Amino acid sequence: MLEEEGINERIRYCNACALSDSRRVYGDVNRSRILFIGEAPGQDERRIGLPFVGDAGQVLDSWIRECGFTRKQVAIINAVKCMKEKNRKPAIDEIDACNIFLWDQIYMLKPSKIVVLGASAMYSVLRTQMPVMENVGRIFKVVRDDLEFELLIMPHPAYCLRNLTYKPPIDIMKRFLK
Query: In the set 34, 76, 77, 80, which binds ligand SF4 (CB under 6 A)?
Result: 80
Query: In the set 37, 46, 53, 81, which binds ligand SF4 (CB under 6 A)?
Result: 81
Strand 147-154 to strand 139-144: parallel, antiparallel, or no bridges (unpaired)? antiparallel
* 109 part of the interface to ligand SF4, by CB under 6 A: no
Spatial CB neighbours of 25, under 8 Å, sequence gap ≥ 6: 41, 45, 46, 49, 50, 51, 78, 81, 82
Stretch that binds ligand SF4, among 60-68, 75-83, 142-150, 169-177 (CB under 6 A): 75-83
Smallest gap from residue 46 Cβ to ligand SF4 (A):
12
Stretch that binds ligand SF4, among 96-104, 108-116, 133-141, 142-150 (CB under 6 A): 96-104
Is the Cβ of residue 14 or residue 108 nearer to ligand SF4 in the bound state?
14
Is the Cβ of residue 11 or residue 37 nearer to ligand SF4 in the bound state?
11
Q: Buried (b) or exposed (e) across 58-90, using 16+ Cβ within 10 A?
A: ebbbebbeebeeebeebbbbbbbbbbeeeeebb
DSSP lists the bridge partners of residue 135 as none
Do 45 and 123 form a contact (C-beta atoms < 8 A)?
A: no
Q: Hey, what amino acid is at 143?
A: V
DSSP lists the bridge partners of residue 147 as 144
Smallest gap from residue 163 Cβ to ligand SF4 (A):
27
Smallest gap from residue 103 Cβ to ligand SF4 (A):
12
Check residue 85 and report its DSSP letter: S
- State the first-to-last Cα distance of the chain, in angstroms, to the nearest integer: 28
Residues 3-32 that bind ligand SF4 (CB under 6 A): 11, 14-17, 19-20
Neighbour tally for 164: CB within 10 Å: 7
* 95 part of the interface to ligand SF4, by CB under 6 A: no
- Give the binding site for ligand SF4 (CB under 6 A): 11, 14-17, 19-20, 80-82, 94, 97-98, 101
